[in-house]
Amino acid sequence: MGASPSYVFFVEVITRGQADKGGRCPDGTITVARAGDNLGWTWFGSVQGELMVAVSTLARKTAR
64: in domain: no
Please say if the pLDDT value at position 20 is more than 80. no
Instruction: State residue 51's pLDDT score.
Output: 94
Give the torsion through C-alpha atoms of 58, 51, 6, 59, to 10 deg: 0
User: Mind spelling out the 3-state secondary structure of the chain?
Assistant: CEECCCEEEEEECCCCCEHHHCCCECCEEEEEEEECCEEEEEEEEEECCEEEEEEEEECCCCCC
| Assessment of whether the complete model's pTM goes beyond 0.85 | no
30: in domain: yes
63: in domain: no
52: in domain: yes
Asked whether the CA dihedral 15, 18, 20, 25 is positive or negative, the reply is: negative
- Mean per-residue pLDDT, 53-60: 94
Number of domains in the chain: 1
Of all residues in the chain, the percent with pLDDT exceeding 70 is 100
Of all residues in the chain, the percent with pLDDT exceeding 90 is 47
| pLDDT tens string 21-37 | 878 888 999 999 998 88
Residue 8 domain boundaries? 2-58
